[in-house]
Amino acid sequence: MRRGNRLAAIALVLATPAAAGEWAQIVAPLALSFPSYHGSHPSFRTEWWYVTGQLAEPGGRRYGFQLTIFRQGLDPSPPASGSSALRARQVLAGHLAVAEVGHKTMRFAERVRRVAAGLAGASENDLDVFLDDWEMRRLPSGVIALVADDRDSGLTLNLELQPAKPLVLHGEGGVSRKGPEPGNASAYVSFTRLAARGRLSFDGRERAVQGEAWFDHEWGSSQLGGGMMGWDWLGLRLADGRELMLYRLRDATGGAAPESAGTLVAPDGTTRHLVVGEFTLEPLAWWTSPRTGARYPARLRVRVSLAGLDLEVRPEVPDAELDARASTGTVYWEGPVAVTGTATGEGYLELTGYAGEALTRF
Amino acid sequence: MEIVTELRSVTKRYRRGDELVNALHDVSFTLGASEMVALVGPSGCGKSTTLNLVAGVDRPDEGQVIVCGTDLAAAGEPALVQARRHCIGIIFQAFHLMPHLTVAENVALPLALDGRRDPARVDDLLRRVGLEHRRSHFPAELSGGEQQRTAVARALVHRPAVVLADEPTGSLDSASGAAVLQLMDELRRQEGSALLLATHDESLATLADRVIRLRDGGIEAVL
Amino acid sequence: MLLRTFFLRPVRRRPLRFVTTVVGVAAGIAAVVATISASQAAVASLREGVAEIAGRARLEVTAPAGVPEQLLGRLRPISGDALVVPVIEEIALVPTLGDAVRVLGVDLLVDAQVRTLELSAKDGTPLVVAHRMLTGRGVLVPASLASRLALRAGDELAVSVRARRETLTVAGVFTPTRFASAWDRVLVVDVALAQELFGRQGRIDRIEIVPRSGVDEAGLAAWARRLLPPSVRVEAPAERGAASSRMVRALQFNLTALSGVSLFVGAVLVATTLATSVVQRRTVLAIARSLGSSRRQLALVVLAEALAIGVLGGALGVAGGLFGARAALASVRSTVAAAVRGVPATAIQLSPSLAIVGLLVAVLISLAAAALPLVEAIGTPPVQGLTSERPAFLRRPSRRRAALLAIGLLALAAALARAPAWHDLPVAALLASMALLGALLVSASPVLDALARRTAGPQGGGGAGTPLRLAVAALAAGRRRASWAAGAVGVAVALAVAIGTMVHSFRATVVDWADQGMRADVWVRPLTATTGVQVGRLDPEVVRTAERLFGIQVIDPFHTAEATMRGQPVTLGAGAFAVVARRGGVSFRDGRDSRDVFATALRHHAAVINEPFANRFRVNEGDTIRLRVPGGELVRAVEAVFFDYSHQQGMVVIDRNDFLRIYPDDGPSELALFLPPGADPATARDTLLSALGGRFLVEALLNKELRDEVVRIFDRTFAITRALQAVAVAVAVLAVLTVLFALLGERRRDLALLRAVGGSRAQVAAVVAAQAALLGLTGAVGGLAIGLAIGLVLVKVVNLQSFGWTLRFLPPWSALAATALLVTVACFVAGLAPALAAVRMHPSEDLREEG
């Protein structure tokens, strides 16, 4: 399970009549069938496709980007006779965020639509998700194409992502435990390194960009156990060819829950599942949002002794707080980071549950 | 001599601001049939008040005003109306003709108000005041003297016992004034009416049988 | 100083005269403000409904029978440039409210960016509420309605939809940020729930397109048109608003014109009073001029008085109009609701501009009315003012001039009444009415003059005749003012008579039409609001139940749908021609038997059209009409034109079987039951109602009940007209009162003299009262004649041009006679007050010498 999105999941779940018994549960290692594995899984309550990455212009200007599409199931039971085809059985929400590293600024846009009448939808056969005119699609070549734009924030994103390494199954065969109860788990797979190439526009000024990206796909129905305050997630691409994914679930005391975990991906694509105790995340500094007053960890010391990693993770744009109350109902911090220490690299950091108001409300 | 009008100890007060002013104080006099009495005195001496009381358009605070045998001080409205219709004729300084009625209609008005018609009487009086050629004219088309002659005819048309005249020449030049006064006296003698004349002009009073000099609401002298 | 002497002092000493003038102005202004704001409220609520409830939409996608929901997806390419919002707008009844509400089906996920609905914070964030609405049967209730019905989030709210009882759950309470009145009868539900409630699965009413900032609208519209099939329209919402308000426009125009006439009466009244008040003080003003006042100073006095009257009268009128509007709204509301599908607002909000205009009009009228006396006041040489006035008979040339002018105006009126409508509005006909009123005013003076001449002559005798003669003489002397007063009375009477004639003609025609045309034994329709507004349609299940019980051959369901004819919206109706052909009853313009008409129409697939349609589109029997309907064009021969006083909108009626081939069966708007001879309608009704059980909220009316209701609705619709009639009479009485007080002041000395030379109090009172009665009578007689002429114009021209209805001209003779009598009596009674004042006058004071 991952991040900001999870808050969204909670918001939506609380808002709808509980019918959890009827949602499918992630209980055992998955039987993976491609390419439908990349598509939508509507029998589960929540699902998202999450792309982050670093891009640069040939001239050198650097950017971080995030495009996420969340799917939220509202009603697992089959449609009643006579019910409208416009009935919202699922909702898609989208977050688009681009960081201009040089300017230390962030632009953000969001969308939310019901899955009906061709307004928004997600194929069950392969990755083919659309939300208004935003699209995330896997081409026959295996390239993932992203299209998203927003007039109000002046953003346009047009990228093609070519997986550079095989698909990673997190946890145990893709089953990522998030809580103590059976069913407190999600299916979680990633392309941890993709070559990105395409165009990025700001207020109509188009720039050719290229770089590297990270693609997550996760779904489930009732992943989280109770008492969680939020989580810190990071996905780092190290210069030595390794990738590191860690998430720390924070309980009411701020301590790491036992289900916190991670994955270390070797240059050849082999993976090592990391459990709590095998890694530490330690805030070195804090940043307080001028808008919400939330206090987020600003620099992190990340240690994975068994991999010989002692890293400092530093945000490239300090203010990467995203206000998504109009689409998923959440406020979270998500932005590009640079890595120094025993290895160098780059990646994305996500911090949720710090804007206390949002958490308590949902 | 028959008494047609008698004032007995008449007092009349007006309120002027917070103060009560005696317009007339304990005034008594009589007017015999066919007699002419002049009330003289300066402005504000009580002449007009006396005339108003005799005309029945005002009431005394004390005393009696007996006209044609009726005490107007105690009489009800119908009796007052009857007194005005049969017993009293009035001539004003400012003529007070009805502007929208012709000369003949103005003269006939007292009869008409009483429900009577007497065209012969109206014609007779018009002839006697020298206005038969003006009978269809409206007051605005007449000279001051002609208007006042119309008023004289109107005051006499119903054969009143008493004619009241309040400065009848006041709005006229001296020649027309003298002529009107002459005519008035002549006619009322022919008709046998008494005349009570209020004037500040002592010279007019020479025609009178008696002159009552008023001062500050009281009788100063009877000449 | 001058002001104090010549304006404030007289006002203080004779407040009544001033007050009546102010009230007169106020009455006129109030009538105008009331009618305008009531009809504005109704129309504005429609426009606001379009503007506000349409949110920021700049473009709308519509289609005659609704937009297929799949088209939403076709517009996905433009979603980067615009929000694409599905909307269903329907009407439901809230039984606990006893009133209809607009049900707005939207997609709150997107709609939050289109419409600003402040959700109550305690119900959760907008997103939470939106999600609550997406599944289940959530409804958003406006705060005003929630407090009225004591609803909170989580409560259940029962509504009647398609005559079916439906239970919704309050998901939240919202406070509209603007135009609260546009929203206070609106329930917001999810578009999917709206489809299910109204049986509109697969279709939505419209797609709203809200451009994002910086997007070129024309380009967007072109793009949207390329993406969509040609059968749908992409247009600005204003065009839709214009189409619906066109129907209300005629109504509003007529109401405003009527109140304009009462303003006219008010103006005449003000002019009268001001004129009188100046003339009354002519001596004083002349003295003032003799003593060295300039003309300017005197003008200032007169204008100051006019200004005071205008401001006070205007302010009172605006305030009074607001109250009047509240009262009138119920009437206007049902009229508008009958004209347009929609639920007009309930609240009157006085627009500041209307208040200012009302005040301004009052002041302008007062100032204009002061012009005449002003000229007189400053034009009078000082000396002339001091001499007494001559009784002025009109000279022959002035009489001839007045007669010629009156005849000219009458001829003009006749010509204007024949002129065609201007943009569907009977402007010429109303100008004709104004010309008739002008003729009335112009002839008042010579008529009074003639009256005075007749009585002038040689002295007449008799106690009773004298006061009358004196009264006539006095009126003749003050003829200018008197003729204004008689004119004002005449105009007021004319207005009352005209309105009365129109309403009576209308009512008698409608009653006849209902008696003749309404032949069914039982009518079934959805439960109506307490205002009588029908809400929605009947569920098709109701029709099936009735058919099962009584047989298909006696059931006539009447369907309606929207279609367009030459780009204008019309109603396409459908009935069971086979059923009506057996029973008949509809009155056709050409007098044919309706059984024959329907049988022929059924055989030839022909249509019948209502009279407004025939008039509006100039279509006659035997012509062919082409309507745009979903999926193409409907071409029909016109078999006959039927009289229809229940619709202003054009209507084409075809056979139900043809109709259901074009439109989906959403259920009929009503259902008529023709029972076999001898069957008991009451029993049949009970049978039907018990078969429908408690599942449907329907009303079943027996023949007589429905006909009674037609008349009741008619009367309610014309309540505002009747109120105007009452205002007219009140203004007439005020006119007389004002003028009499003025004449009385002018004649004080004469009346005192009358007393002094032997007039009794009764005689003096009689003189004054006779003046009043004479004014009233003159005005009433003239007003009656002119009023009938105006009534004829209203009935035969105005109604036809603005509503398309042919009416018979049926003046309510006895009521008219009563009105004339009433006005005369009212004037006489109004004259009693000044008469009483005359009696109380103290002759000695008024005869006191000045010299």
Residues of B within 8 A of C470 (CB-CB) are 98, 101
The answer on pLDDT for A267 being more than 90 is: yes
CB contact under 8 A, C134 and A85: no
* Mutation site, A119, A129, A362, interface C, largest C CB count within 10 A: A119
The pLDDT of residue C844 is: 61
Give the angle subtended at the CA of C275 by the CAs of B97 and C436, to the nearest 5°: 115
Closest CA to A263 of A296, A235, A225: A235
The answer on pLDDT for A213 being more than 90 is: yes
Residue B152 and residue B156: Cα distance in Å, rounded? Answer: 6
A22 has a chain C CB within 8 A of its CB? no
Residue A176 and residue A171: Cα distance in Å, rounded? Answer: 4
Tens of pLDDT along C330-364?
Answer: 655 555 554 444 444 445 555 677 788 788 888 88
* Mutation site, C81, C134, C204, C213, interface A, largest A CB count within 10 A: C134
Pick the more confident residue, C645 or A116. A116
For C77, name the nearest residue in chain A, comparing CA atoms only. Answer: A133
The pLDDT of residue C625 is: 92
B and A touch with 3+ CB pairs <8 Å, answer no
Residue A50 and residue A53: Cα distance in Å, rounded? Answer: 10
Helix (H, G, I), strand (E, B) or coil at A168: strand
**Which residues of chain C from 30 to 69 reach within 8 Å of chain B, CB to CB?**
none
The pLDDT of residue C242 is: 46
For A330, name the nearest residue in chain C, comparing CA atoms only. Answer: C127
Tens of pLDDT along B147-158?
Answer: 889 999 999 898
CB contact under 8 A, B171 and C851: yes
Residue B50 and residue B63: Cα distance in Å, rounded? Answer: 12
CB contact under 8 A, C125 and A83: no
Between strands C59-68 and A321-324, the pairing is unpaired
Q: What mean pLDDT comes out for the span A290-314?
A: 93
Q: What mean pLDDT comes out for the span A167-181?
A: 84
CB contact under 8 A, C459 and B92: no
pLDDT band of residue C457 (cuts 50, 70, 90) is very low
Answer for the pair C12, C261: CB distance below 8 angstroms, yes or no: no
Residues of C within 8 A of B166 (CB-CB) are 849
Tens of pLDDT along C459-504?
Answer: 444 445 677 777 777 776 666 667 767 777 787 788 778 878 887 8
**CB-CB: which of C461, C755, C848 is closest to B112?**
C461
- What is the ipTM for the molecules in this complex? 0.87
CA distances from C803 to C53, C425, C518, C562, C645 (A): 28, 9, 21, 19, 9
Pick the more confident residue, C18 or C561. C561
Q: C67-81, C198-212, C789-803: lowest mean pLDDT where?
A: C789-803
Tens of pLDDT along A85-95?
Answer: 898 889 999 99
CB contact under 8 A, A117 and C192: no
Residue-level length of chain B: 223
For C391, name the nearest residue in chain B, comparing CA atoms only. Answer: B100
The C-alpha of A355 sits at a distance from chain C's nearest C-alpha, in angstroms, of 16
**CB-CB: which of C77, C125, C212 is closest to A151?**
C212
**Subunits with 3+ C-beta pairs closer than 8 A to A:** C
The residue ranges of every structural domain in chain C are: 1-54+245-387, 59-235, 392-506+715-851, 539-695
The C-alpha of C754 sits at a distance from chain B's nearest C-alpha, in angstroms, of 8
Residues of C within 8 A of A117 (CB-CB) are 69-70, 72-73, 86
The pLDDT of residue C154 is: 87
The C-alpha of A194 sits at a distance from chain C's nearest C-alpha, in angstroms, of 27
CB contact under 8 A, B99 and C391: yes
Residue C399: burial class (beta carbons within 10 Å; 0-12, 13-18, 19+): middle
CB contact under 8 A, B112 and C754: no
Q: B48: domain range? A: 3-222
Between strands B194-199 and B36-40, the pairing is parallel
CB contact under 8 A, B96 and C844: no
pLDDT band of residue C397 (cuts 50, 70, 90) is low
A158 has a chain C CB within 8 A of its CB? no
Answer for the pair C768, C759: CB distance below 8 angstroms, yes or no: no
Q: How many CB pairs under 8 A join B and C?
A: 104
- Here the CATH number for the domain that contains residue B107 is 3.40.50.300
CA distances from C701 to C411, C696, C715, C757 (A): 50, 15, 19, 74
The answer on pLDDT for C769 being more than 60 is: yes
Q: What mean pLDDT comes out for the span A186-192?
A: 92
The answer on pLDDT for C390 being more than 50 is: no
Six token digits for residue C611: 């009279």
**Subunits with 3+ C-beta pairs closer than 8 A to C:** A, B
The C-alpha of C66 sits at a distance from chain A's nearest C-alpha, in angstroms, of 15
CB contact under 8 A, A133 and C192: no
The pLDDT of residue B45 is: 83
The pLDDT of residue C280 is: 59
Percent of chain C clearing pLDDT 70 (strictly above): 69
Residue C202 region by backbone torsions, left for phi larger than 0, else alpha for psi between -120 and 50, else beta: left
The pLDDT of residue C13 is: 61
The answer on pLDDT for A63 being more than 70 is: yes
Tens of pLDDT along C407-441?
Answer: 899 999 888 888 887 766 777 887 888 888 888 87
Percent of chain B clearing pLDDT 70 (strictly above): 99
The pLDDT of residue A120 is: 93
CB contact under 8 A, A15 and C190: no
CB contact under 8 A, B77 and C761: yes
DSSP track, C106-175 = E-HHHHTTTS-EEE-GGG--HHHHHHHHHSTTEEEEEHHHHHHTT--TT-EEEEEETTEEEEEEEEEEEE
Residue C572 and residue C662: Cα distance in Å, rounded? Answer: 11
Q: A295-299, C205-209, C714-718: lowest mean pLDDT where?
A: C714-718
Residue C167 and residue B132: Cα distance in Å, rounded? Answer: 99
The pLDDT of residue C179 is: 56
The C-alpha of A112 sits at a distance from chain C's nearest C-alpha, in angstroms, of 6
Q: What mean pLDDT comes out for the span B60-72?
A: 89
CB contact under 8 A, B113 and C463: yes
Q: What mean pLDDT comes out for the span B180-196?
A: 88
Maximum pairwise Cα distance, chain C: 101
- A112-124 in b/e form (b: 16+ CB < 10 A) is bbbbbbebbbbbe
The pLDDT of residue A19 is: 44
The pLDDT of residue C758 is: 78
The answer on pLDDT for C646 being more than 80 is: no
Residues of C within 8 A of A118 (CB-CB) are 70, 72-74, 76
The pLDDT of residue C498 is: 82
Q: What mean pLDDT comes out for the span C560-576?
A: 85
Answer for the pair A38, A143: CB distance below 8 angstroms, yes or no: no
Mean pLDDT of chain C: 75
Residues of C within 8 A of A133 (CB-CB) are 76-80
The answer on pLDDT for C285 being more than 70 is: no
Q: What mean pLDDT comes out for the span C233-244?
A: 61
Q: What mean pLDDT comes out for the span C547-553?
A: 88
Sheet holding B210-215, edge to edge: B88-91, B162-166, B194-199, B36-40, B210-215, B218-222
**Subunits with 3+ C-beta pairs closer than 8 A to B:** C
Tens of pLDDT along A124-167?
Answer: 999 999 999 999 999 999 999 999 999 888 899 999 999 999 99
CB contact under 8 A, C749 and B96: yes
pLDDT band of residue C291 (cuts 50, 70, 90) is low
Residue C15 amino acid letter: P
pLDDT band of residue A355 (cuts 50, 70, 90) is confident
Residue C322 and residue C326: Cα distance in Å, rounded? Answer: 6
Number of domains in chain B: 1
Q: What mean pLDDT comes out for the span C51-71?
A: 73
Between strands A155-163 and A144-150, the pairing is antiparallel
CB contact under 8 A, C756 and B58: no
Q: How many CB pairs under 8 A join A and C?
A: 108
The C-alpha of C74 sits at a distance from chain A's nearest C-alpha, in angstroms, of 7
The pLDDT of residue C478 is: 66
Q: Which numeric CATH code is attached to A4-76+85-361?
A: 2.40.370.10
